[in-house]
């Protein structure tokens, strides 16, 4: 049993899968706008690797091969306080799945992932929604010297989003993007697939306050909101500290926007064949409060995080809410 497996043992006892008579919607949680403060979940890949996923293997296949593990991870995050559960579909587009000989299973893998997350969301003892996770295509856009055109990218992302919508997600969650043209293509593709489903879009500002492709927080917020995103922000990166100024800059530029902060648990250190992170749950709890003070409305964690990190963050945010009321 690895560290992440032990984290799962701290989850609360299993709830009834039929204790929620009606599903919660994005609008139920968000209300009238950017006054909402929500807790998103933590890492999926980190947890799956702790449960046996081999480096380089597609995590999405586990939706079919090990659905009980996917559900257990999502259950632990919900029990830790998450109000938004992301599906296990980060690499679920056909270009990435093609690398593993599974390009023909986009619909099956994404729909199944949405259904698994829905079961756990409905079973939670507090309102939880399902976010259909959409990561980068894995290819380089023509705007920066690659071969992937905006039209093809849009079609690729629309295909994935259509499958996620078919499985019943409440929102689309586009994340870990570096290039603006790809992110905009993903937003447009998601809206093509399901025009009424809200779209959240975040980029990774891991290069001195810019994305790897040189995009600033202000440029990102402007382009993504204009493309139709309901909420924007930052995720992943080198650690939670670099995300605070990103949120501050977005909030200054767009006072009315709904902003997302979902940072990594520090930098990974390779120990043998395992990536380990040294940022404690207590430190992440402190950063959760800092994210909110910077202007974030939706706060979660990314690579390296576990339900223990998420629980500490949720409790810190709840405590801040109590003291402020």
**Model pLDDT for residues 113-140, shown as the tens digit of each residue:** 999 999 999 999 999 999 999 999 999 9
Is residue 84 within 8 A of residue 30, CB to CB? The reply is no
Q: Is the pTM of this model over 0.95?
A: no
Residue whose pair of structure tokens reads 């933590």 in the numeric block: 42
pLDDT digits (tens, 9 = 90+) for 13-68: 344 343 343 578 999 898 877 777 999 999 999 999 999 999 899 999 999 999 99
Q: Terminal CA-to-CA distance of the chain, rounded, Å? A: 41
Other Cβ atoms less than 10 A from the Cβ of 216: the count is 17
**What value does the mean pLDDT take over residues 179-202?**
98
CA 5 to chain CA centroid, nearest Å = 21
pLDDT digits (tens, 9 = 90+) for 72-114: 999 999 999 999 999 999 999 999 999 999 999 999 999 999 9
Read off the DSSP letter of residue 84: E
Confidence check: pLDDT of 273 > 90: no
| Summary count for the chain: helices (H), strands (E) | 13, 10
Is residue 186 within 8 A of residue 144, CB to CB? The reply is no
More confident residue, 325 or 80: 80
Rounded Cα–Cα distance for residues 112 and 88 (Å):
9
pLDDT at residue 14, rounded to an integer: 43
Residue whose pair of structure tokens reads 């990190």 in the numeric block: 309
Other Cβ atoms less than 10 A from the Cβ of 61: the count is 16
Phi, psi of 50 (to 5 degrees): -70, -20
pLDDT at residue 320, rounded to an integer: 66
Is residue 38 within 8 A of residue 317, CB to CB? The reply is no
């Amino acid at each position: 049993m690895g560290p992440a497996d032990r984290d799962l043992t701290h989850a609360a006892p299993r709830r009834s899968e039929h204790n929620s008579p009606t599903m919660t919607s994005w609008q139920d949680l968000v209300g009238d706008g950017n006054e909402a403060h929500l807790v998103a979940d933590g890492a999926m890949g980190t947890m799956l690797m702790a449960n046996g996923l081999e480096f380089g293997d597609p995590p999405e296949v586990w939706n079919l091969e090990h659905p009980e593990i996917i559900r257990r991870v999502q259950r632990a995050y919900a029990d830790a306080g998450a109000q938004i559960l992301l599906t296990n579909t980060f690499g679920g587009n056909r270009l990435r799945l093609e690398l593993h000989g599974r390009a023909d299973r986009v619909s099956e893998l994404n729909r199944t992932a949405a259904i698994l997350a829905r079961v756990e969301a409905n079973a939670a003892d507090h309102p939880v929604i399902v976010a259909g996770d959409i990561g980068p295509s894995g290819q380089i856009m023509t705007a920066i010297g690659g071969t992937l055109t905006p039209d093809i990218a849009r079609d690729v992302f629309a295909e994935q989003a259509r499958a996620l919508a078919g499985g019943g997600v409440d929102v689309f969650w586009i994340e870990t993007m570096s290039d603006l043209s790809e992110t905009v293509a993903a937003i447009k593709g998601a809206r093509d697939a399901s025009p009424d489903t809200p779209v959240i879009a975040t980029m990774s500002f891991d290069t001195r306050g810019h994305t790897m492709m040189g995009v600033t927080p202000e440029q990102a917020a402007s382009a993504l909101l204009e493309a139709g995103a309901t909420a924007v922000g930052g995720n992943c990166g080198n650690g939670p500290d670099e995300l605070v100024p990103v949120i501050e800059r977005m909030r200054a530029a767009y006072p009315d926007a709904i902003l997302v902060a979902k940072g990594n648990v520090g930098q990974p250190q390779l120990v043998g064949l395992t990536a380990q992170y040294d940022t404690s749950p207590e430190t992440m709890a402190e950063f959760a409060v800092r994210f909110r003070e910077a202007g974030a409305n939706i706060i979660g964690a990314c690579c390296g995080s576990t339900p223990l990190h998420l629980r500490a963050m949720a409790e810190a945010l709840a405590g801040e809410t109590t003291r402020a009321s």
